[in-house]
Amino acid sequence: MPGTDPYAANARSSSEAEDDAPYTVDTRKSPRRTGHRPAQAAGAGYGARAPRPRVAKPRRRRRRLVLVTIALLVLAWLAFMIWVPLNAWGKVQKVDATPNGSRPSASKGYDYVLVGSDSRQGLTAAQKKELNTGSAEGKRTDSIMLVHVPASGGKSAVISLPRDSYVPIPGHSKNKINAAYSLGGPRLLVETIEQVTGIRVDGYVEIGFGGFASVVDSLGGVDMCLPKAMKDSYANINLKAGCQTLNGPNALGYVRARYSDPLGDLGRVKRQREFLGAVLHKAMQPSTVLVPWRYSAFANAAGAGLLVDQETSMRDVVRVLQALRGVSNGDGVSLTVPLSSTNLQTHVGSAVKWDSAKALELFKAIKEDQPLTAPSPTSGAG
């Protein structure tokens, strides 16, 4: 329109545009510099400040600290659980029990010789008196067991070989099997067992008098239920019938006694298998494993009381212990080699004669890793 100032029109148009958008914020400018305040929360009064968010950092830090502490305690416990058996293994005595010359072929499973000896090594005069072990020189076998662990993961078996078993001893004439130990120690005993059974022995484990009693005491005693009272002056025990806790000396007398047992040595080997299973059962209980001082005491006592072959590993010993525990839990087979006579008259006195046919059948099943079952009492089961 004539006479109209174009610049004034532009100025008015700009002013109207600002009036049309009064809440437009220039994002190119800092809210601090423009004096811009954040929008008020709904319902807040004029000039009221927005509530600040609650800071959770202290709580998160405490939670993180608790988790880290728990993790460190778990790691420390696992380290302790591993260190204790490794430390105990360092106390185990080693002996060369591997026979020389030709040996049977390896079985499909794992086969070990477990021996309880009357060794008095490490016992003081007071301990010998307390345990009623006497002071005889040398050592003999109180019990001999063949432990079979299947490679297939089936039931393990603990087979007792009566110490008076009349067998041929390599390099010597026929004699009681425990004579092999007296004549040539663990090596000759293992060689004798291999030759008479046809089974290759994968490891040798032995425990003596003092070690056995110490292991029992480290567990605070072991519970046993006796069907009848036992009194044996040779074993220095006078035990009542019924369930009771046996300490080290009483436990040792219980597994050694044979003169007071109507079954003699056969009754003793059965008690030995049962008691060893009871020891391992208690050793694996939470009351032992979860109590550091008891767990450590048991491991150290067991390590100090063991003697193993130089080629026997810790894994081998664990297999033997698991087999004994399986027998105690009913998950293993416990038996005595089949017998035909318990009063065979020989040049070395009364001895035990195996039932050759049934014994060879048993050893063949072991060698081939076949499932085993306990034979009937008439065949010498214990």
Could you report the per-residue pLDDT of 217-234, keeping only the tens digit for each? 999 999 999 988 999 888
In the numeric block, the tokens 């044979």 are attached to 258
**Per the domain annotation, does 44 fall within a domain?**
no
- Using alpha carbons only, give the angle 261, 263, 269 rounded to the nearest 5 degrees: 85
pLDDT band for position 236 (50/70/90)? confident
Overall domain count for the chain? 1
Neighbouring residues of 230: CB distance < 8 A, sequence distance ≥ 6? 237, 238, 239, 254, 257, 260, 261
Range list of H helices, 198-264 = 209-218, 248-256
The total number of residues shown for the chain amounts to 382
26 belongs to a structural domain: no
Residue 174: what pLDDT? 95
Work out the mean pLDDT of the chain and round it to a whole number: 81
Residues 204 and 97 sit within 8 Å (Cβ to Cβ)? yes
Q: Which strand (E) or helix (H) includes residue 309?
A: strand 306-309
- Give the phi and the psi of residue 139 in degrees, each rounded to 5: -155, 155
Task: Give me the pLDDT at residue 380, please.
Answer: 43
Q: Residue 60: what pLDDT? A: 82
Share of the chain above pLDDT 90, in %: 42
Average pLDDT over residues 162-179: 94
The CATH number of the domain where 187 resides is what? 3.40.630.190
Mean pLDDT of 301-315: 91
Q: Is residue 141 part of a domain?
A: yes
Which residues, other chains included, contact 147 with Cβ-Cβ below 8 Å and sequence gap of 6+? 111, 112, 113, 114, 156, 157, 158, 159, 319, 320, 323, 324
Closest CA to 215 of 108, 324, 107, 113: 324
pLDDT attached to residue 377: 45
Residue 16 lies in a domain: no
Q: pLDDT tens digits for 96-154?
A: 999 988 999 988 899 999 998 865 555 555 555 555 555 445 566 778 999 999 998 78
Residue 249 sits in which domain range? 90-379
Confirm whether 2 is domain-assigned.
Answer: no
Closest CA to 199 of 35, 27, 368, 371: 368
Residue 357, classified by CB atoms within 10 Å of its CB into exposed (0-12), middle (13-18) or buried (19+), is exposed
Residues 53/54/57/59 CA torsion (nearest 10 deg): -160
User: Which among 372, 327, 368, 375 has a CA at the least distance from the CA of 354?
Assistant: 375
Residue listed under structure tokens 């185990």: 92
Confidence of residue 260 (pLDDT cuts 50, 70, 90): confident
At residue 66, the pLDDT reads 87
**pLDDT per residue over 20-75, tens digit each?**
444 444 545 455 555 555 555 555 555 556 666 665 567 888 888 889 899 999 89
